C-alpha cells in the first residue's frame, strides 16, 4: 500500500472478568460469562484483540416493579409479578445468559425486606436458574450495607458481580466480596477521577483489580449520553495506554436510564429503539456489560453485536 | 432608635449599640474580632458567644446544640441585641490577633534597634489571611524587624470573593478598609516602638498584595474584580499619601502599591517574581506561592505566565479546627508511629503546642497516610484510642489536652483533611495547568521556588508525598519564604526595581482558571493523595 | 504536527504592543494555537512567520457546503479524533435514499414525510439534511423523478447515478440547488470531474480502498475539482468503521491532504432497528454524511438525538430553557426547587423529583449553562439572579406558599436570598440523590 495506515498499538489491556462459577470452580452455574480482555478500542478489530463480545444481562427485580411503563410490563406478560417466574422466563424464553437482579424490595420505602429474606430470595433464585448473577442493592446505602453482605453470603462461591460500591460507601461491600469470592461493581457519578480513585481504594483493601467492573453511571440517549460516552472513551484510552487502575470493563445500566426518557414511553417501537441505540452507542465507547430491560431491545442489540463480530 | 449597653468579657469593654444590631457587629465596633469564616451568614459556627445577662433574639440554626443552648451559647452573627447585655467571648471564638515576631528568611542582615538614622520605610505583604510588615532603614538598607499578623478582615469572610460581596453592603467597604489599615497600623506601631524609631522618620511604604486587598486598602470598590474581563481602574494610583489610605506614618509620607496583572493576580505575584529573580533566568522556573490566593508563575527571561489557584487559607492555619499561624507554639513537624499511632512533634520556639501551622499540616497528612490512618481519599480507616467520631467526621487526636495543659485537644478531622486536600489540589493543579497550557512537561522545569508564610520549616519531601508539589528531583526545590514581602522591600529600596516591577506586570500573561474547564479537570484529579493519577508521583508509595 | 502556543510565540514580535487586543504576545500565541483568532490581528508579523502560521491554520479536513440557500449545511473541518479532546464541529448530515423506481405518488408521499421530520429537543431544532435520488430505471424516468424532487422538497439533493448522460441532464435542471454528485470512480472520474467542475458542484469519490481513493482525489484535484466527499463503498459495519477511522487519522495525524475531506456512509439495512444502530455507529465514528432509507419518525428521532449528543460541545454544556417547570400533578402547595439551566443539573434534579413521586416545581435559573457551584462563583446563581428569576417566572401566581428549596451547595446565599426575594429559604441536599428523601421529610 502506498498510503501508510495509521495503526495504534496499545501497551495496556482491559482486565478480563469472569462472572459465574460452574461446578468445577466451586459453584453451581450452568455457564459463565467473560468480559473484557481487549487491547484495542471498540470495533477496531484490525488493531488488536477483542476476545469477548459485549454481553447483555436482563434486569429483574425481587419485587414487581412499580414504575415500569406498560410497554415493558407487557413484554413479560404475567411473569413480572413473580420474580422467580420472571427470571425463568428471561432464561428460557429470551435466552438470557446472565441476569441482573436488583434488590429493590429491600428499600425502606419499597417493602423494607430483611437481610434474611433477601438472602433467602437469592438462594431460591440460584436454584431456579442456572445462569450467573449480578446482584445490586436498592441504592439505600445504609440498607445495602445490611442486605448485600447477606446476599453475598447466600451466593458464596458463585462468583457473582455485586454492586454498587460508591466512594462514600465501599468498605462493607468490598469485605463481603472478598470473603465470598465475588467481583464488585464500582460506581462513580460520570466522573473519570472518582472512578479511578474508587478502583484504587478498593484495590488498596486487597481486592484484585481484575475483580472490579466500573459502572460509569450513564445517561440515556438524549439525556446526557454524551457525558458517559466521553468519560468511557477517555477511561478506555487511559487503560489501553497502560493505566491499570482504569483497566476495568464497563457495566452500563441501559434499561434503567433509557426507560426514564419520555421519548421511550411514546410508542413500543420508540422505547425499543431508545434502549437499543443507547446500548450500541455505549458499546462504541467501551461498554462490556449491558443491563437491559426490554426483551426486543436486548434481541436487537444482540443481533447488532453478532453482526459486528461475524467476520 | 433604642440603644443599649453591651459589655464584653473578659475584656470588660462596654459600648453602646442599637437595638436589633447583631452581637457580631457590636463586637467589631468594640474592636473585638471574632472568627467568622462565613462573614456572618450563620453557617460556619465559629462565632459562638455566651450571653451572661440580658435579652437577645436569635435565629434558629443547626449549629448550636441543645446542651449549648442550655448554657446560653449563641452565634454572634445570628443574635440581635434586645436589652443591655453582658457577653462572654470564649477564646475559641476570638480571632488570633496577637502579632508575632517571626524570623523570616532574607538576605539582608538584621540590625539591632536604636538606629539613629532619619529615613525609614515599611514594606508590606498584604495577604487575604496574613499580613506581614517589615521596618527598613532606607539609608543603610538594613532590615530592623518583621512582624506578621492575621488580617482582621477575616471577620468578614475567609476568601476574597466573600470580602468583595461584603464590601458591597452598606458600610462594608469602610469596615474592610479599617480592619486592614488597623492591622497595618498596629504592626507599624509595634515595630517603631520596639526599635525606638520616630514615626515621623518613616517616609515610605510599599505594599504588595492581591488586587482585592489593594482595592480595600485604597477604599476602592472591588466589585468589578469579579466581572470578566477585569480591567484595572484608570484611577488606580501608583503613589499616594499614606495618610489618604489611613496609614499613620509621617503625614507627608508616601505609600505605593506594587502593580498587579489582573483581578486575581496582584502585585504580590509581581513582587515574588522580582525577588525570586526568575525573570532573569535562562532555564525554565516556576514560583509557587502557597497562600490563600495561590499564585503560580512559570517562565524565564523569555516569557512569564501566571495564574491564581484559589487555595483557601488552610495552609495558613485558618479554617481548620486546630489551625494557627506559623508562630510560637505551632506544631510544625510531626511523626506518627505506625504501630500504635502515637505522635511525636516539635513546635515553633519549642513552646507547648497551641495548634498546628501549615508545615505541621503537611507533615501530619503525610504521616497519617504513611501510617495507614487515612486512605488515599482522606477518610480515616482505622480505630484506636486517638481516633473518634466528631460532627465533622472521623477525628484524630494529635495532642490530648492533658498532655499540653490546654482547654481543648489538638485534633484533625475529616472535614479539615477535605479542606487541606482542596487547598493542596488547587495549588498542584494550578501548576499543572500552566505547564499543560504551554504544552510543556513538569520535567522541563529546572528550578521550583516555593514561597509562603511557613516560618522557617517546610518539608519538601512530605509536601510532595501529599501531592501539594510535583514529584520532581528534590534538588530543584528552593524554599524562599515570603517572596512578596522580599519583592516589595526591593522596590522600597530601589527605583530600578520599581521600574522592573512595572515592566514585569505588562509582560506577564495571566490565565484565568475559574472558567477553564481543563483546570476543573486537573483540580478534580488532584483531590486525592497524592493524586488520582498515581503515575504522576512515581516516587511516592504508601 | 500542530504548533504549541510557545512555538508560535517564538515567531511573534514579542513586543506586547496589545494591538491584537490581548495583553501579551504569548496570550495571542495561545489563541492562535487554539485557532480562536486569526494571524491578521497582528500588524507586525513577519512574512516568514505569517506563511508558517497560515499553513498551520489550514483545516486538516476540508469544510464542504452542501445544498443552497436556507437549507444548505456544512460538513468537515473536524479537528479531533475524540470529542473530549475539543469537540466535533459540524454535525453529520443525515439523508434519505429514494429510488426512482417508486411511483410518482410514492415519491411525493415519501418526500412529504421526510420534509416533516423536524423535532425540538432541549431547546434545539433537530432536522434531516438531504434527500438522495438513486437511479434504477432509465434516463427519462430519472429526470421525471428529479423534477418531483425539485417540486416537493427544499432539502439539498444528491444525485446518485452512473449514467453520465442522465446525470448531466439532471444537473442542468437542478443546478440552482447545488446537488451533490454520486460518484466519481476509477472508470468515470474524468467525466464526473468535468461535470462537477463545469457546474461547480460537490462530488462524492468512491473507491474500495484508501490507496485508490487518494489516487482519485489527487487526479480530481488535478482537474480542478476540490469539493470532495470520500466514500469507501458499502461494507460490513466493522470494516466501514475501520475505513472511517483510518480516513480521519490520515487527515489529522498524517496531514494527508489527499484524504482531507469529509466522508460518506450509506447504510444498507432493511430492519429499521439495525438501520438506526448502524447509522448511529457512523455518526459517532466519523461520517460527515449518513444515508438511510427508513423514514419513520421514531427511527429518525433516535438517530438525530444521538447526533445531537455526539456533537454537543463538551466545553459548552447544553442548556435548557430557563423557566418554571411543573413535574407531575402539581397544586398550589407543591414544593418549589431551584437549580441552574445546565441541562445535566436540571435533568438530574428532574429525575430525582420524578423518582420521589411528589409533584413539584423546578425553577431553572439562567446561568448560561453553568452548574450550581460554578455559577455561584461567577455571580450567576446568587441572591440577585434567583430573585429576578422568581419575579419573572410566574411561580407566585401558581403557588400559595412562600417556600423555596435551594441546592445544599449554595447554603451560604440563603440569608441574602431570603431578604431579597421574600421567600422562606429551605436548604436542600447537596446531591440530587438526596432529593426524594428530602421531599418526603418535607411533606
Residue B134 domain boundaries: 100-257
To the nearest whole angstrom, how far is the Cα of B376 from the nearest Cα of chain A?
7
Do the Cβ atoms of B376 and A171 come within 8 Å? no
CA-to-CA distance for B432 and B513, rounded, in angstroms? 12
To the nearest whole angstrom, how far is the Cα of C17 from the nearest Cα of chain B?
10
* B390 and B410 share one domain: yes
| Position B221 in a domain | yes
Nearest to B162 by CA among B170, B172, B171: B172
Predicted confidence band of residue B469 (pLDDT cuts 50, 70, 90): very high
pLDDT of residue B233: 61
pLDDT of residue A244: 94
C-alpha angle C117-C120-C125 in degrees, rounded to nearest 5: 80
Predicted confidence band of residue B101 (pLDDT cuts 50, 70, 90): very low
Using CA atoms, how far residue B419 sits from B313, B323, B365, B377, in Å, is: 9, 12, 12, 12
| Position B263 in a domain | no
The gap between the terminal CA atoms of chain A, to the nearest Å, is 22
Do the Cβ atoms of B377 and A245 come within 8 Å? no
User: What is the β-pairing status of strands C203-206 and B254-257?
Assistant: unpaired
C-alpha angle B434-B440-B444 in degrees, rounded to nearest 5: 105
* B122 and B213 share one domain: yes
Chains in contact with B via at least 3 Cβ–Cβ pairs below 8 Å: A, C
**Residue C368 touches chain B, beta carbons under 8 Å:** no
| Position B27 in a domain | yes
Predicted confidence band of residue B106 (pLDDT cuts 50, 70, 90): very low
Domain end point (choices B358, B393, B414): B414
| Position B265 in a domain | no
Answer whether B308's CB lies under 8 Å from B295's CB: yes
To the nearest whole angstrom, how far is the Cα of C147 from the nearest Cα of chain A?
34
**Residue A106 touches chain C, beta carbons under 8 Å:** no
> Closest chain B residue to C3 measured between Cα atoms?
B439
SS3 C129: coil
pLDDT of residue C296: 95
pLDDT of residue B64: 81
Domain end point (choices C310, C335, C360): C310
- Lowest mean pLDDT across B154-158, B342-346, C165-169, C228-232: B154-158
Percent of chain A residues past pLDDT 70, beyond the cut: 99
Do the Cβ atoms of B43 and C412 come within 8 Å? yes
Statement: A54-301 belongs to CATH 3.40.50.2300: no
Q: Looking at residues A90-112, what average pLDDT do you find? A: 95
Strands annotated E in B386-444: 387-390, 393-399, 410-413
CATH number at residue B455: 3.30.420.40
Do the Cβ atoms of C84 and A260 come within 8 Å? no
SS3 B37: coil
Residue C13 domain boundaries: 5-57
* C263 and C412 share one domain: no
Disruptive mutation site among A167, A194, A197, A243 for chain B (greatest number of B CBs within 10 Å):
A197
| Position B154 in a domain | yes
| Position C318 in a domain | no
Nearest to C330 by CA among C247, C382, C390, C400: C400
Identify all chain A residues contacting B534, using CB atoms and an 8 Å cutoff.
Answer: 200, 245
* B233 and B304 share one domain: no
CATH number at residue C340: 3.40.50.11600
**Residue A243 touches chain B, beta carbons under 8 Å:** yes
* B444 and B528 share one domain: yes
Residues 147-206 of C with CB under 8 A from A: none
Q: Looking at residues B502-522, what average pLDDT do you find? A: 85
**Residue B510 touches chain C, beta carbons under 8 Å:** yes
Is residue B236's pLDDT more than 80? no
Mean pLDDT per segment of 10 residues, for chain C of length 443 residues?
81 87 86 82 88 83 95 95 95 98 97 95 87 96 97 97 96 97 96 97 97 96 96 96 97 93 96 97 98 96 97 83 92 95 83 88 91 80 93 93 92 90 90 83 80
To the nearest whole angstrom, how far is the Cα of A33 from the nearest Cα of chain B?
31
| Position C82 in a domain | yes
Domain end point (choices B41, B58, B93): B93
C-alpha cell at A159: 462468583
- Tally C-beta pairs within 8 A across A and C: 131
More confident residue, A55 or B63: A55
Do the Cβ atoms of B532 and A193 come within 8 Å? yes
Using CA atoms, how far residue B287 sits from B284, B304, B450, B451, B483, in Å, is: 10, 11, 6, 7, 9
pLDDT of residue B109: 37
| Position B264 in a domain | no
* C237 and C367 share one domain: no
- Consecutive H or E run containing A259: none
CA-to-CA distance for C268 and A205, rounded, in angstroms? 51
- Counted domains in chain B: 4
Residue B50 bridge partners (DSSP): B73, B88
CA-to-CA distance for C88 and C72, rounded, in angstroms? 19
Of the partner residues A191, A197, A245, the one whose CB lies closest to the CB of residue B377? A197
Residues of B with CB under 8 A from a CB of A: 375-377, 381, 521, 524-525, 527-528, 532-535
Domain end point (choices B358, B388, B414): B414
Do the Cβ atoms of A3 and C239 come within 8 Å? no
**Residue C315 touches chain B, beta carbons under 8 Å:** yes
Question: pLDDT tens digit string along B43-62?
Answer: 777 788 999 889 998 887 77
Do the Cβ atoms of C276 and A219 come within 8 Å? no
| Position B262 in a domain | no
Question: pLDDT tens digit string along B245-269?
Answer: 999 998 888 999 998 888 778 899 9
More confident residue, C115 or B326: C115
Question: In this structure, what are the phi and psi dihedrals at residue A118, rounded to the nearest 5 degrees?
Answer: -65, -45
| Position C319 in a domain | no
Residues 32-51 of C with CB under 8 A from B: 33
* C271 and C404 share one domain: no
Of the partner residues A6, A267, A280, the one whose CB lies closest to the CB of residue C280? A280
Interface confidence (ipTM) of the complex: 0.96
To the nearest whole angstrom, how far is the Cα of A183 from the nearest Cα of chain B?
21
Question: pLDDT tens digit string along B3-59?
Answer: 899 998 888 888 888 888 888 888 877 767 777 766 677 777 778 899 988 999 888
* C302 and C328 share one domain: no
> Closest chain A residue to C258 measured between Cα atoms?
A3
CATH number at residue B48: 3.10.20.30
Q: Radius of gyration over alpha carbons of chain C, in Å?
A: 27
CA-to-CA distance for C183 and C181, rounded, in angstroms? 6
> Closest chain A residue to C347 measured between Cα atoms?
A223
| Position B445 in a domain | yes
- Consecutive H or E run containing B271: helix B267-276
Predicted confidence band of residue B165 (pLDDT cuts 50, 70, 90): confident
Do the Cβ atoms of C378 and B437 come within 8 Å? no
pLDDT of residue B114: 40
pLDDT of residue B229: 55
> Closest chain B residue to A235 measured between Cα atoms?
B533
Do the Cβ atoms of B515 and C378 come within 8 Å? yes
Answer whether A162's CB lies under 8 Å from A154's CB: no
Identify all chain B residues contacting C24, using CB atoms and an 8 Å cutoff.
Answer: 506-509
Predicted confidence band of residue A109 (pLDDT cuts 50, 70, 90): confident
* C294 and C398 share one domain: no
**Residue B63 touches chain C, beta carbons under 8 Å:** no
CA-to-CA distance for C277 and C299, rounded, in angstroms? 10
| Position C339 in a domain | yes
CA-to-CA distance for A218 and A290, rounded, in angstroms? 11
* C170 and C29 share one domain: no
CA-to-CA distance for C285 and C300, rounded, in angstroms? 18
To the nearest whole angstrom, how far is the Cα of B517 from the nearest Cα of chain C?
7
Percent of chain B residues past pLDDT 90, beyond the cut: 52
Residue B239 bridge partners (DSSP): B256
- Counted domains in chain C: 3
- Consecutive H or E run containing B9: strand B3-9
Is residue A261's pLDDT more than 50? yes
Predicted confidence band of residue B468 (pLDDT cuts 50, 70, 90): very high
CATH number at residue C15: 1.10.15.40
SS3 content of chain B, % helix, strand, coil (to 5): 35, 25, 40
Amino acid at each position: 500500500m502506498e498510503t501508510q495506515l495509521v495503526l495504534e498499538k496499545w501497551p495496556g489491556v482491559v482486565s478480563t472478568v469472569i462472572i459465574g462459577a460452574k461446578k468445577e470452580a466451586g459453584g453451581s452455574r450452568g455457564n459463565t460469562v467473560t468480559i473484557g480482555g481487549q487491547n484495542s478500542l471498540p470495533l477496531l478489530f484490525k488493531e488488536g484483540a477483542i476476545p469477548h463480545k459485549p454481553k447483555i444481562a436482563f434486569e429483574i427485580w425481587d419485587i414487581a416493579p412499580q414504575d415500569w411503563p406498560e410497554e415493558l410490563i407487557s413484554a413479560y406478560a404475567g411473569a413480572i409479578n413473580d420474580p422467580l417466574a420472571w427470571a425463568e422466563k428471561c432464561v428460557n424464553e429470551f435466552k438470557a445468559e446472565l441476569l441482573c437482579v436488583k434488590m429493590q424490595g429491600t428499600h425502606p420505602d419499597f417493602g423494607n425486606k430483611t437481610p434474611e429474606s433477601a438472602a433467602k430470595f437469592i438462594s431460591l433464585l440460584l436454584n431456579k436458574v442456572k445462569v450467573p448473577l449480578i446482584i445490586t442493592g436498592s441504592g439505600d446505602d445504609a440498607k445495602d450495607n445490611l442486605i448485600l453482605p447477606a446476599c453475598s453470603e447466600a451466593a458464596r462461591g458463585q462468583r457473582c458481580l455485586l454492586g454498587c460500591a460508591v466512594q462514600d460507601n465501599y468498605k462493607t461491600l468490598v469485605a463481603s466480596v472478598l470473603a465470598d469470592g465475588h467481583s464488585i461493581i464500582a460506581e462513580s457519578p460520570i466522573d473519570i477521577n472518582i472512578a479511578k480513585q474508587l478502583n484504587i481504594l478498593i484495590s488498596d483493601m486487597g481486592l484484585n483489580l481484575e475483580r472490579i467492573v466500573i459502572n460509569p453511571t450513564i445517561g440515556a440517549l438524549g439525556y446526557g449520553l454524551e457525558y458517559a460516552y466521553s468519560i468511557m472513551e477517555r477511561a478506555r484510552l487511559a487503560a489501553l495506554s497502560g493505566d491499570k487502575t482504569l483497566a476495568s470493563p464497563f457495566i452500563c445500566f441501559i434499561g434503567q436510564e433509557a426507560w426514564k426518557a419520555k421519548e421511550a414511553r411514546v410508542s413500543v417501537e420508540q422505547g425499543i429503539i431508545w434502549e437499543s441505540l443507547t446500548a450500541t452507542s455505549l458499546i462504541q465507547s467501551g461498554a462490556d456489560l449491558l443491563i437491559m430491560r426490554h426483551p426486543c431491545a436486548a434481541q436487537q442489540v444482540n443481533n447488532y453485536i453478532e453482526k459486528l463480530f461475524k467476520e | 432608635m433604642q440603644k443599649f449597653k453591651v459589655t464584653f468579657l473578659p475584656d470588660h469593654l462596654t459600648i453602646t449599640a442599637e437595638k436589633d444590631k447583631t452581637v457580631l457587629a457590636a463586637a467589631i465596633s468594640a474592636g473585638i474580632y471574632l472568627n467568622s469564616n462565613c462573614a456572618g451568614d450563620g453557617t460556619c459556627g465559629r462565632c459562638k458567644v455566651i450571653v451572661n445577662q440580658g435579652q437577645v433574639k436569635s435565629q434558629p440554626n443547626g449549629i448550636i446544640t441543645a446542651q449549648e443552648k442550655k448554657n446560653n451559647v449563641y452565634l454572634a452573627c445570628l443574635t440581635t441585641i434586645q436589652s443591655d447585655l453582658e457577653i462572654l467571648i470564649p477564646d475559641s471564638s476570638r480571632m488570633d490577633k496577637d502579632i508575632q515576631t517571626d524570623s523570616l528568611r532574607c538576605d539582608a542582615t538584621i540590625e539591632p534597634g536604636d538606629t539613629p538614622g532619619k529615613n525609614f520605610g515599611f514594606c508590606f505583604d498584604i495577604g487575604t489571611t496574613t499580613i506581614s510588615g517589615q521596618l527598613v532603614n532606607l539609608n543603610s538598607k538594613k532590615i530592623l524587624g518583621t512582624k506578621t499578623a492575621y488580617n482582621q478582615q477575616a471577620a468578614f469572610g475567609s476568601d476574597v470573593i466573600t470580602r468583595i460581596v461584603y464590601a458591597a453592603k452598606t458600610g462594608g467597604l469602610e469596615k474592610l478598609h479599617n480592619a486592614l489599615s488597623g492591622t497595618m497600623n498596629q504592626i507599624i506601631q509595634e515595630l517603631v516602638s520596639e526599635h525606638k524609631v520616630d514615626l515621623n522618620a518613616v517616609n515610605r511604604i510599599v505594599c504588595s498584595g492581591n488586587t482585592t486587598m489593594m482595592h480595600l486598602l485604597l477604599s476602592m470598590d472591588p466589585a468589578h474584580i469579579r466581572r470578566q474581563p477585569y480591567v484595572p481602574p484608570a484611577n488606580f494610583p501608583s503613589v499616594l499619601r499614606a495618610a489618604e489610605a489611613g496609614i499613620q506614618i509621617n503625614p507627608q509620607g508616601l505609600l505605593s502599591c506594587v502593580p498587579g496583572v489582573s483581578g486575581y493576580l496582584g502585585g504580590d505575584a509581581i513582587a515574588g517574581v522580582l525577588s525570586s529573580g526568575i525573570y532573569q533566568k535562562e532555564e525554565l522556573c516556576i514560583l509557587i506561592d502557597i497562600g490563600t490566593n495561590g499564585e503560580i508563575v512559570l517562565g524565564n527571561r523569555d516569557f512569564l505566565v501566571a495564574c491564581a489557584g484559589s487555595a483557601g487559607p488552610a495552609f495558613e492555619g485558618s479554617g481548620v479546627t486546630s489551625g494557627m499561624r506559623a508562630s510560637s507554639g505551632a506544631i510544625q513537624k510531626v511523626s506518627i508511629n505506625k504501630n500504635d499511632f502515637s505522635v511525636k512533634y516539635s513546635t515553633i520556639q519549642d513552646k507547648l503546642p497551641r495548634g498546628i501551622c501549615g508545615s505541621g499540616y503537611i507533615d501530619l497528612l503525610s504521616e497519617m497516610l504513611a501510617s495507614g490512618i487515612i486512605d488515599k481519599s482522606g477518610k480515616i480507616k482505622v480505630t484506636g484510642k486517638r481516633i473518634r467520631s466528631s460532627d465533622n467526621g472521623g477525628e484524630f487526636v494529635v495532642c490530648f489536652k492533658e498532655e499540653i495543659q490546654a482547654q481543648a485537644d489538638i485534633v484533625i478531622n475529616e472535614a479539615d483533611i477535605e479542606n487541606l486536600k482542596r487547598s493542596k489540589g488547587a495549588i498542584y493543579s494550578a501548576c499543572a495547568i500552566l505547564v499543560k497550557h504551554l504544552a510543556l512537561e513538569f520535567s522541563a522545569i529546572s528550578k521550583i521556588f516555593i514561597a509562603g508564610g511557613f516560618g522557617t520549616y517546610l518539608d519538601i519531601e512530605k509536601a510532595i508525598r501529599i501531592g501539594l508539589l510535583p514529584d520532581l528531583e528534590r534538588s530543584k526545590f528552593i524554599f524562599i519564604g515570603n517572596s512578596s514581602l522580599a519583592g516589595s522591600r526591593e522596590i522600597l529600596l530601589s527605583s530600578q526595581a520599581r521600574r522592573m516591577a512595572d515592566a514585569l506586570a505588562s509582560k506577564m500573561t495571566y490565565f484565568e482558571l475559574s472558567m477553564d474547564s481543563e483546570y476543573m479537570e486537573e483540580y478534580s484529579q488532584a483531590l486525592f493523595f497524592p493524586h488520582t493519577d498515581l503515575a504522576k508521583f512515581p516516587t511516592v508509595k504508601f | 504536527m500542530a504548533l504549541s502556543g510557545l512555538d508560535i510565540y517564538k515567531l511573534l514580535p514579542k513586543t506586547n504592543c496589545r494591538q491584537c487586543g490581548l495583553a501579551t504576545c504569548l496570550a495571542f500565541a495561545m489563541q492562535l494555537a487554539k485557532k480562536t483568532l486569526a494571524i491578521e490581528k497582528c500588524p507586525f508579523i513577519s512574512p516568514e512567520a505569517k506563511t508558517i502560521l497560515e499553513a498551520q491554520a489550514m483545516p486538516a479536513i476540508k469544510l464542504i457546503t452542501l445544498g443552497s440557500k436556507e437549507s444548505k449545511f456544512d460538513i468537515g473541518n473536524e479537528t479531533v479524533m475524540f470529542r473530549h479532546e475539543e469537540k466535533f464541529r459540524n454535525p453529520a448530515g443525515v439523508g434519505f435514499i429514494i429510488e426512482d423506481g417508486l411511483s410518482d405518488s410514492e415519491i411525493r408521499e415519501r418526500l412529504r414525510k421526510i420534509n416533516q421530520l423536524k423535532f425540538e429537543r432541549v431547546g434545539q431544532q433537530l432536522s434531516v439534511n438531504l434527500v438522495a435520488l438513486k437511479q434504477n430505471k432509465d434516463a427519462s424516468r430519472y429526470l421525471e423523478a428529479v423534477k418531483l424532487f425539485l417540486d416537493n422538497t427544499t432539502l439539498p439533493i444528491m444525485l446518485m447515478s452512473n449514467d453520465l448522460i442522465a446525470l448531466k441532464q439532471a444537473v442542468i435542471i437542478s443546478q440552482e440547488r447545488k446537488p451533490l454528485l454520486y460518484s466519481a470512480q476509477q472508470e468515470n472520474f474524468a467525466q464526473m470531474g468535468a461535470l462537477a467542475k463545469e457546474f461547480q458542484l460537490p462530488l462524492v469519490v468512491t473507491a474500495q480502498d484508501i490507496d485508490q481513493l487518494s489516487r482519485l482525489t489527487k487526479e480530481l484535484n488535478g482537474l480542478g475539482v476540490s469539493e470532495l466527499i470520500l466514500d469507501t463503498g458499502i461494507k460490513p459495519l466493522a470494516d466501514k468503521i475501520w475505513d472511517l477511522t483510518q480516513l480521519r487519522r490520515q487527515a489529522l495525524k498524517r496531514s494527508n491532504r489527499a484524504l482531507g475531506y469529509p466522508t460518506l456512509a450509506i447504510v444498507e439495512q432493511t430492519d429499521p432497528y439495525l438501520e438506526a444502530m448502524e447509522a448511529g455507529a457512523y455518526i459517532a465514528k466519523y461520517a460527515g454524511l449518513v444515508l438511510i432509507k427508513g423514514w419513520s419518525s421514531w427511527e429518525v428521532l433516535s438517530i438525530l438525538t444521538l447526533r445531537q449528543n455526539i456533537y454537543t460541545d463538551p466545553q459548552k454544556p447544553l442548556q435548557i430553557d430557563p423557566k418554571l417547570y411543573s413535574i407531575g400533578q402539581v397544586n398550589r402547595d407543591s414544593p418549589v426547587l431551584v437549580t441552574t439551566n445546565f441541562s445535566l443539573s436540571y435533568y438530574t434534579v428532574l429525575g430525582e423529583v420524578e423518582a420521589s413521586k411528589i409533584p413539584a416545581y423546578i425553577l431553572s435559573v439562567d446561568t448560561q449553562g453553568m452548574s450550581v457551584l460554578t455559577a455561584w462563583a461567577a455571580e450567576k446563581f446568587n441572591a440577585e439572579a434567583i430573585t429576578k428569576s422568581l419575579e419573572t417566572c410566574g411561580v407566585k401566581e401558581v403557588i400559595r406558599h412562600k417556600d423555596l428549596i435551594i441546592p445544599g451547595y449554595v447554603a451560604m446565599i440563603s440569608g441574602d436570598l431570603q431578604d431579597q426575594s421574600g421567600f422562606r429559604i429551605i436548604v436542600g441536599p447537596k446531591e440530587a440523590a438526596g432529593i426524594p428523601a428530602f421531599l418526603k421529610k418535607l411533606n
